[in-house]
Chains A and B, each alone.
Chain A
Amino acid sequence: AQSVTQLGSHVSVSEGALVLLRCNYSSSVPPYLFWYVQYPNQGLQLLLKYTTGATLVKGINGFEAEFKKSETSFHLTKPSAHMSDAAEYFCAVIYGSSNTGKLIFGQGTTLQVKP
């Protein structure tokens, strides 16, 4: 079955440290790839997406992600964490075999930022 795996349900970093959140998908056909962020009691907000073109994509709030087809990965990074980055992060994919736009989400990673 098509799935998305996020390694690590909780990640803790110090303020100013590198953030790395991992995401792998299961498909031989590259899907459309997304990272969403969810703050407490809020809906999901798009951080960045990969559809076609350049494999390194930049998003809001200094986040970026690189699509690596050979590794079926789309890891999210940020060079320097801020306290305001503390939230839950979801990797999601749309498999392009149909045009439903149905998102398949990973289980999420909670990012904690320590002062």
Chain B
Amino acid sequence: DTGVSQNPRHKITKRGQNVTFRCDPISEHNRLYWYRQTLGQGPEFLTYFQNEAQLEKSRLLSDRFSAERPKGSFSTLEIQRTEQGDSAMYLCASTPSSGWNTEAFFGQGTRLTVV
């Protein structure tokens, strides 16, 4: 296992289009997190899953955003009707349940540019 994998690495889209990102966590990790990082800022929590259950969503996650984790494996984050303010780096991280306070393993992120 080579770690957390995110695809695509870069995405340029026109305003109003829908986009979907994928995250493949470390295989034995049952917790998966999504964060958003804008230029010059630290990552901000969006949502997290334990197995297939989505347990918490930030108020940053408007109704245009939806995340899924079918079968508790990979996760997708979809943004509908993209806006320029959605331009950011979207980071995925995973941890085991037993190690939730020890280390989160991050993917390299998907950089979204909305034009």
A-contact bits for B86-106, CB 8 A (1 contact / 0 none): 000001010100001111101
Q: How far is the CB of B69 from chain A (nearest CB, A)?
A: 15
User: Smallest CB-CB separation from A110: which chain B residue?
Assistant: B40
In angstroms, Cα B107 to Cα A32, docked, is 21
A43/B31 in contact, CB under 8 A: no
Q: Which of B35, B40, B43 has the largest number of chain A CB atoms within 10 A?
A: B43
Q: Please tell me the number of chain A residues within 8 Å of chain B, measured between CB atoms.
A: 27
Of the candidates A43, A49, A102, A107, the one whose C-beta lies within 8 Å of that of B48 is A102
Given A32-B101, A43-B4, A44-B106, do A103 and B43 touch, yes or no (CB 8 Å)?
A: yes
In angstroms, Cα B93 to Cα A102, docked, is 10
Taking residues whose C-beta sits less than 8 angstroms from the other chain, chain B's interface range is 20 to 34
Given A41-B108, A43-B106, do A101 and B100 touch, yes or no (CB 8 Å)?
A: yes
Of the candidates A9, A49, A90, A96, the one whose C-beta lies within 8 Å of that of B102 is A49
Q: Is A28 an interface residue (CB 8 A)?
A: no
List residues 1-56 of chain B with CB under 8 A from any CB of chain A.
4, 31, 33, 35, 40-45, 48, 55-56
A102/B45 in contact, CB under 8 A: yes
List the A side residues contacting B55 at CB < 8 Å.
100
B56/A107 in contact, CB under 8 A: no
Given A32-B101, A96-B101, A100-B100, do A105 and B91 touch, yes or no (CB 8 Å)?
A: no
Of the candidates A49, A96, A100, A105, the one whose C-beta lies within 8 Å of that of B42 is A105
A42/B108 in contact, CB under 8 A: yes
List residues 63-106 of chain A with CB under 8 A from any CB of chain B.
90, 92, 94, 96, 99-106
Chain B contact residues, CB within 8 Å of chain A = 4, 31, 33, 35, 40-45, 48, 55-56, 91, 93, 95, 100-104, 106-109
